[in-house]
Structure 1
């Protein structure tokens, strides 16, 4: 695993941003599902901010005020008192996008690792919730061997390989985005009606 994180950190910032954007795409359905079930939040608002990130990745000279986008994003976070499972996953999506915006505003060397770990962490939490296993060791083994975790690891590997390969031109970014969208299915294997 550490080799994976070293490769991530070794990427130039724009490639790191593309990696994070693809992971954010895959976290968005969790936020949308939370918004659908609770009436809190605004998936379209989150999507719009992520669209601007993709635009900036495609068109380097795009003039986008990411500080303003970060302010808008903060308003879309679930209410602080909501500690439900859905709220925590929605908060992960917001935090991942927020870390990505940080990198577009300046130095945020740990952001790419935070986003990678947050996505895996959400999968781990979901497995713990659904498997209801009390024993720590058994649970750790379950998480490691669980199809959702295998899928998450494969997904992040595929995204990393895609951002490492060749020039990040429009076609490469489109392909990455499609990969991240994962046909509307999140890292938890859930999808929301858009």
Structure 2
């Protein structure tokens, strides 16, 4: 993968539609983390989260779609895990909501930095998962471990693939392909899947 600065520059150079498609692809891949949290705790509503994301895909593929994203943002706010739940699962579920919320901001013409936020949110979740599973206390060793970890390599490859797809001409088929890429056969950025 190219240096992260080069990568972030390329993200920001995407057309608005390309940026939105990139973010939607990453959001799609975060949904299983949310679904897994909901499944194990009974908090949250994966179907409602998917419904908001489905409307985003509709907006991206149907030229004249008229969707009230202010209303969707309100619905999304209700899907956050309880504030007092500071568990690992709750933080990963919250990342899915935060990423989708940043995408809605972008669709409403707010927050030009949304794409970087979504990219970093997804990578941050992977980093947290590696820290949790590897149990390494030494910061330098942990940083090296994270860089070389297969999950991080997969995350970087995935974001590279999403960026490449977003740089192409985004017709209906291209959008459909990006959604399929994001679905990643139901496996999240942490290598987890839920029964949704």
Match of 1:183 among 179, 182, 185: 185
Partner of 1:124: 127
| Residue ranges of structure 1 left out of the alignment (5+ in a row) | none
Match of 1:75 in 2: 78
Equivalent of residue 20 in structure 1, options 8, 11, 23: 23
Q: CA shift at 1:12, angstroms?
A: 1.2
What do residues 108-149 of structure 1 show as CA deviations (whole Å, max 9, x unaligned)? 110000000000000000000000000110000000000000
Aligned residue number for residue 95 of structure 2:
92
Deviation of the 1:18 alpha carbon: 0.1
Partner of 1:160: helix, strand, or coil? helix
TM-score calculated relative to the size of structure 1: 0.99
Cα separation, 1, equivalents of 2:110 and 2:133: 38
The two structures, once aligned, show a CA RMSD in angstroms of: 0.5
1:140 maps to what in 2? Answer: 143
- Listed one character per residue, the Cα deviations across residues 71-98 of structure 1 (whole Å, up to 9, x for unaligned) are 0000000000110000000000000000
CA distance in 2 between partners of 1:126 and 1:114 (Å): 18
1:64 and 1:164 mapped to 2: Cα distance?
A: 25
Runs of at least 5 residues in structure 2 that lack an aligned partner in the other structure: none
